Chain A
Amino acid sequence: MRWLSRLGVQFRMLFSRNRAHRELDAELRDHLDRQIAENTARGMSDESARAAALRTFGNPALLRDQAHDTWNWAAAESLLHDVRIGCRTLLRTPGFTVIAILVMALGIGANVALFTIVRGVLLKPLPYSDPERLVTLYERSASEGLGMFNPVAAGSFSEWQRAATGVEQMALVSPFQNYNVSAEGGKLPERIDAGFCSWNLFSLLGVQPALGRTFAEADDEHSAQSTVMLSDAFWRRRYAGDPAIVGKTIWLDAKPYTVVGVLPASFLFNSAFGGNTVQVWTPVGHEFPEALLKAYDDHEGIVMARLKPGVTLQSVLAQLGAVQAQIKKEHAAGGVNGAVNGRSMLDDAVHDYKTPLYALLAATGCVLLIACMNVASLLIARTAARGKEMAIRTALGGGRMRLMRERLTESLLISVMAGAVGIGISWAALQLLVKMRPDMNRVESIRIDGGVALFTIAAIASCALFAGLISALGADGKRLLSALQESSRANRGSHQRATLRRVLLVLEVSLTVVLLAGAGLLLKSYQRLRTTDLGIPINNALRLHVSLPESRYKEEVQQVAFFEQLIAGVRALPGVEAAGLVSTAPGQGWGGDSLADTLEQPRRQEDLLDIHRRAADPGYFAAAQIPLLRGRIFTSDERLSRSDVALISLSTAQQLFPGQDPIGKHLHFGYNKDVYEIIGVVGDVRWDIHEPPKPTMYMPLYGHDWTGATIFVRGRNVESLAMPIENVVGRLDRDLPVSNVMTFRESIAKSTIDSQFDSLLILSFAVIALILAGAGLYGVLAYLVTQRTGEIGIRMALGAPRKQVMRLMLLDGLRPALIGLVLGLAGSAATGRLIASMLFDTKPLDAGIYTAVAATLLVVAGIACMLPAWRASRIDPMQALRTE
């Protein structure tokens, strides 16, 4: 039990430190006295007896220290001591300390938040079994760039399934479907996101149902009974988590479906086409029309596959590529792709976020680096202020390590406190992000966990080390000695430290410029996006979607009747100025396209024009305010008599009939034999805000298999029209939900949310960086002014005008800012290409942005430098010389 008693001694000593010190002193004094007495007894004089005793005694202070060191708590105590000194030093300048902590907290917080996102979204494996063997397969069109990842036709899928030997299982998934859920049990009808999938999708992913079973192969037959699986969220929300739901019937698109199972809450679908909002799953073989199941040119799904162990994606792609090339050979018609493509399922799910997230991570890294530099500068300034004290301590043999340790402790204190605040900041930021972007794939896996905690600790430690070491570098022992020699005129020594601070400042400014330039480019790009001319005015417009279930509206007459009554009802509402129906509204994205040919001038297969097909009622053009440029709009009897007439957009006319009058000419598509007579030309519109206007043709809405339509309404107070329109729909069919109700402006905002989000985030980092750089400039210059007070005093005493002093100080601060600006602009030019893919209609080298960044930086730098420079010019020479 010796260690126990030893521990007891140590404890006693730890708690009776002062007594121990006193006793040691007494003991040593006693020893000294005895030695003196002995020396006197030998006949020495008092004086020499004492001197001799002291000589053998050595350095009493050192002796005490050595005895002290053998007490085991010395290490712990000195750490405590350091921390205490550190706290005291930090508390002496509370303003500076708070700023330093906040500065670093912002840096740490932003980095922890971004790391959490990157880890959760990009790095964590997908929540399926053996996720590294899961891949997503696409068709690929011959053209590079566009069409690299084309959806897959069901016909191709069946062929692939037969041919692929390196694949364990393969499933066709169409995650972008919708159903109308009928009103029932007092619940309103609603339109929900749905997914069609092969029966084996869940076993392929390794997902077990929470209730009931997954699909059986028999469910996936076209002739099978209708079956459905519910997502956990939908089951809880709509059916109150009814445990007896399995076997019950629910109505989708006015057809009865038997619930066979409920998916676990942990199951969230991830693909490049989204799908994490899917509420119900149905078997694709049952849902797709039989013709579609055999089609090679109708691309409605993606293919998910599990590779056999040891099989590479490349070998599977090679095998399937040969199959697809054969399909293309046998079905040469347009719309059949000749190649395949694929990527890991994880990569597929997060592909769109990769560049923006890594760009953001780099930006936050820059902010943290800037923050660390600022804290280092702060520590250097403090060391400089205490230069003489340090020099004396070094001269007296105070260990370099000890001094360095003090500085490290200080930066560690700042970093730890900043880390604590930073974790709070990152938590809040993450909450905000998840709330703002629930649509983001894998948003559910963003969590602060052990890995994030480790990252945070590492971030704090590296900040402490970075700031501490850099500032220690500025306080080299030799330099301190020279500071001591020059004593009061410590200008030279401090100049050297100021040089280090200037270097830090240059780096800081250049990083800030890179961030500012990036933010500027993204903002400009977002602005371009917002102000993009869609071809129609975006104000005072509302859109709502209704989709007719084929089961209830089998006959075209029924559909026509419904839409007629609907649009008449809407037009009759007070406040509605114009209303029309269209299959897909501008800004709503892809809505079906086909390769078009003309009867009059047949084109070669490869020259067919890819045009968007839209169906509209005659009122739509007036409601949307799409100008009629030539010819005429449909007439109402045309839509009823189903005449094959069409309107084309201006760009279509220019490309199909250059220099000719298209009116009366004829269009047709490869996929059916219908021929459309062109009766008019209308203005171009953008279907996707990110893409230039595409050639478009409009055909009458009714009688062309369009069962869904967007109601497009113009009015003065469109927001208030949503409810009355929903009532009109409800009166016509109580089971028919109205979905996607939003003003046209909102719908544009929604499609630009990515850009808005990216640019806002980067902008906020850039602003933080700008503030930090400004603070850094100010700090360095303010410090220089205090250091050079004496010199300035002499200059002014010798007759230097105040203006000259001010100019001198301004130049002192602006020089590093200018160098940083030049370096930063060069850096931006070098890194601009990295964010090129995030830009819209904006070149990475944008002179306007660069000029604006330079101007902003110079203004901030100017302000930051002005104050200390002005203060320098106000120095009273006599006062300054006296303090010297």
Chain B
Amino acid sequence: MGKPSDLVQGTLDLLILKTIALEPMHGWAIAKRIQQMSGEVLQVQQGSLYPALHRLEQQGWIKAKWDESETGRQAKFYSLTAAGRKQMDAESANWSRLSAAINLIVSEA
């Protein structure tokens, strides 16, 4: 079970931040949402999801809260903090720049 590379890890962080930017979500929902939004391309393994969530929480970018879920069970809901929003904006900008650049090269060649 290899560790995700830095790029993937960083990307996963961004995806998580983006996903929960709209509303607080629990882990399973985050995974599902990413999968759906990427058109089933990105399958987030729990193996990387939860460490990522904990890491982001440690960084102070997201915060967690136990709440009743749609099934009536208690679940841990993650939401963005102010610092997390700033981080998300910075990373999105960075990502856009990077992907645009890569896109340029890929399409030109």
Contact = CB atoms under 8 A, between A and B. Distances in A.
A joins B in a complex: yes
A23 B78 CA distance: 13
Contacts of B95: none
Interface string A1-39: 010011001100000000000011011101100110000
B60 interface: yes
Interface in A40-91: 56-59, 62-63, 66-67, 69-72
Q: Name which of A27, A56, A62 has the most chain B CB atoms within 10 A of its CB.
A: A27
Interface string B3-46: 00000000000000000000000111001000000000000011
B83 interface: yes
B85 interface: no
Interface residues of B, number: 24
B83 A2 contact: yes
A57 B46 contact: yes
Contact of B51 (A2, A5, A66, A72): A66
Interface in B76-93: 76, 83
A31 B28 contact: yes
Contact of B58 (A9, A27, A56, A66): A9
A611 to B, nearest CB: 90
Contacts of B69: 30
Interface in B40-60: 45-47, 50-51, 54-55, 57-60
Contacts of B51: 63, 66-67, 69-70
Interface in B52-78: 54-55, 57-60, 66, 69, 71, 73-76
B46 A30 contact: no
Given A31-B27, A59-B1, A63-B50, A23 B76 contact: yes
Contact of A70 (B31, B54, B73): B54
Contacts of B55: 70
Contacts of A10: 58
Contacts of B73: 30
B28 A63 contact: no
A28 B60 contact: no
A9 B60 contact: yes
Contacts of B45: 56, 58
Contacts of A69: 51
Nearest to B76: A27
Contacts of B54: 67, 70-71
Contacts of B28: 30-31, 34-35
B58 A63 contact: no
A27 B1 contact: no
A24 B1 contact: no
A641 B73 CA distance: 127
Nearest to B31: A31
A563 to B, nearest CB: 95
A72 B54 CA distance: 10
B47 A58 contact: yes
B6 to A, nearest CB: 15
Contact of A6 (B31, B47, B60, B66): B60
Contacts of A58: 1, 45-47
A62 B55 CA distance: 16
B75 A27 contact: yes
Interface in A117-157: none
A536 to B, nearest CB: 88
A30 B75 contact: yes
A2 B46 contact: no
Nearest to A8: B60
Contacts of A5: 60, 83
Nearest to A31: B28
A541 B46 CA distance: 96
A57 B48 CA distance: 10
Contacts of A70: 51, 54-55, 58
B102 to A, nearest CB: 29
Contact of A26 (B31, B46, B74, B83): B74
Contacts of A2: 60, 83
Going nearest first, the 3 A-B pairs with the smallest beta carbon separation are A34-B28, A70-B54, A31-B28
10 contacts: A6-B59, A23-B66, A24-B50, A26-B74, A56-B46, A58-B1, A58-B45, A58-B47, A62-B47, A70-B55
Given A28-B50, A31-B31, 4 more contacts: A9-B57, A30-B27, A30-B76, A57-B47
